[in-house]
C-alpha cells in the first residue's frame, strides 16, 4: 500500500475535515518519529512510509464508530477487504492504538508511537486554537508542556498515553513534544493552523 492508496482509503471512510486534519497530523508526526528513532533522514525509506500510513489511517473507522454509536469498537471496524489490502503491522498498529477498546496491546515501536502521538497531536491543536491568531507557529515546546500540565485543558488528551513516549520509546517528554510540534508546523496550511 502506498500513501495515495492510503489517503483514498481514509477519505472513503472519513469525511469530517477535522478528523482528516488529525490524521494528517498523526501521519507527519509518525514519519518524524521514525526518522528520530532510526536516526535516518531518508525520505524514500519504505518503513518511514509505513509509519506514516499507520498515522494516516489510525482513526479511519472512528467516524463510522461515532455515527453508529459504537465508539467502543473503534479500531475494530476496519472491513475485511481493507485489512487484506494493508500490511499486517499497519492493521495491528491501528488496532493497538485503541487498545482500551480493542484489547490488542501495542507491541512494536510503531504501535507505541501512534498510541502516544495520537493524543499529543490533539493537545497541540487545542493549544494552537487558543492562541490569538489560532496558529500553530505561535506554539513552543514550553507552551505545549505548560498546557500538558493543566489537567483541565484539552481534557480528552490522555496524558498517560502521551507519557508512554518515555517508557516505551525512550524519548523524554520535552523532546517528544518538540518532535511532534515541529512536524505539525511543517503542515500548518493543510491543518488550517
* Tens digits of residue pLDDT in 14-29: 999 999 999 999 999 9
* 92-110 burial: b if 16+ Cβ within 10 Å, else e: bbbbbbbeebbebebeebb
Q: Which residue has the higher pLDDT, 183 or 84?
A: 183
Q: Please report the pLDDT score of residue 75 as a whole number.
A: 78
Domains of the chain: 3-188 (1.10.3210)
Predicted confidence (pLDDT) per residue in 131-158, tens digit: 999 999 999 999 999 999 999 999 999 9
Q: What are the distances in angstroms from CA 80 to CA 7, 25, 94, 101, 122?
A: 18, 26, 14, 19, 29
Q: Please report the pLDDT score of residue 38 as a whole number.
A: 86
**Phi, psi for 150 (deg, rounded to 5):** -85, 100
Res. 170: pLDDT tops 80? yes
Q: Is the pTM of this model over 0.85?
A: yes
Res. 44: pLDDT tops 70? no
Amino acid at each position: 500500500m502506498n500513501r495515495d492508496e492510503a489517503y483514498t482509503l481514509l477519505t472513503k471512510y472519513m469525511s469530517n475535515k477535522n478528523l482528516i486534519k488529525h490524521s494528517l497530523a498523526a501521519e507527519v508526526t509518525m514519519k518524524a518519529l521514525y526518522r528520530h528513532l532510526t536516526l535516518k533522514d531518508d525520505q524514500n525509506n519504505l518503513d518511514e512510509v509505513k509509519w506514516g500510513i499507520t498515522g494516516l489511517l489510525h482513526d479511519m473507522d472512528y467516524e463510522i464508530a461515532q455515527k453508529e454509536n459504537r465508539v467502543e469498537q473503534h479500531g475494530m471496524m476496519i472491513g475485511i477487504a481493507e485489512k487484506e489490502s494493508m500490511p499486517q503491522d499497519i492493521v495491528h498498529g491501528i488496532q493497538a492504538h485503541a487498545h482500551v477498546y480493542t484489547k490488542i496491546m501495542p507491541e512494536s515501536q510503531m504501535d507505541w508511537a501512534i498510541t502516544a502521538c495520537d493524543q499529543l497531536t490533539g493537545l497541540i491543536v487545542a493549544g494552537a486554537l487558543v492562541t490569538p491568531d489560532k496558529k500553530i507557529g505561535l506554539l513552543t515546546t514550553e507552551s505545549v508542556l505548560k498546557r500538558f500540565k493543566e489537567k483541565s485543558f484539552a481534557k480528552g488528551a490522555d496524558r498517560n498515553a502521551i507519557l508512554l513516549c518515555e517508557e516505551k520509546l525512550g524519548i523524554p517528554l520535552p523532546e517528544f513534544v518538540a518532535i511532534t510540534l515541529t512536524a505539525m508546523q511543517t503542515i500548518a496550511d493543510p491543518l488550517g493552523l
